[in-house]
Amino acid sequence: PAQVLSTAPDILYLWVVRMIFSSMEFMKKIPFENVYIHPTVFAKTGERMSKSLGTGVDPMELIAKYGADATRFGIIFQVSDRQDIKFSEENILMAKKFCNKIWNASRFVLMQLGSSQFTLKEIEKIKISQKLTSADKKIIKQLESAIKSTDVYLEKFQFGKAANKLYDFFWHDFCDKYIEKAKKQKDKITTQKVLLKVLSDSLKLLHPFLPFLTEEIYQNLPVKSKTKLLIIESWPK
């Protein structure tokens, strides 16, 4: 809380600069290290959102209609670098479909695992250097790329880019391609481990964006010695 300030650009000089000056004057130090200037979200018509004018959007209605995770992800997904955005409910609907995709993919992985149980070390040891199929190696490499990209985007406060990267990776690379190939692979045990590793790490990466869905799925993963809650799980590397 004392390192990052999140603010809109229109009060940068009215409020943020004065906070810095006041802190340096009375406390002899800067009050925060980073200022995240987020975009302003306008109504679909381009007007400023206002309750009195009827141009606002009630987030509670969106949550009731689409769910909290979908509302959260749908807004983050359309955020670009400091560029103001026009609110679009279509993005929330897209996010709801993405949540369904994650849920269904997770159900498939759990069905493939059946009664199998793996330790955390077994899952973490899966590397490209092992005797894996070309499909296994490709998805592991894509996962590592997704982790690196997400790290960079989050460090730079580029939340929209991080959301887009994770969406593309999970939906297209993991679901559309690898899961379909995994159905035909002969080495069942290795395939189970790869499926579980990719799903587990994906849940960790998606957790800041979809906290409720990912936590629910995480609780059902057949991994021994995992932490009790995803929110305190180690970030993938």
pLDDT reading at 81 higher than 90 = no
Angle between helices 188-206 and 134-155 (to 10 degrees): 10
Angle between helices 134-155 and 159-168 (to 10 degrees): 170
Q: List all residues 6 or more positions away from 139 whose beta carbon is below 8 Å from its beta carbon.
A: 173, 174, 177, 178, 194, 198
Instruction: Work out the percent of the chain whose per-residue pLDDT is above 90.
Output: 65
Return the pLDDT at 66. 97
pTM (predicted TM-score):
0.89
Q: Which residue has the higher pLDDT, 65 or 85?
A: 65
Query: What does the CA dihedral 146, 149, 154, 156 come to, rounded to 10 degrees?
Result: -170
Per residue in 50-75, pLDDT (tens digit) is 878 788 888 899 999 999 999 999 99
Per-residue confidence band for 8, with pLDDT thresholds at 50, 70 and 90: confident
Per residue in 10-59, pLDDT (tens digit) is 888 899 999 999 999 999 999 998 999 888 888 888 888 887 878 888 88
Q: CA 66, CA 88: separation in Å to the nearest integer? A: 13
pLDDT reading at 137 higher than 90 = yes
Contact 180, 199 (CB under 8 A): no
Mean residue pLDDT across the chain: 91
Residue 218 burial by Cβ neighbours in a 10 Å radius (0-12, 13-18, 19+): buried
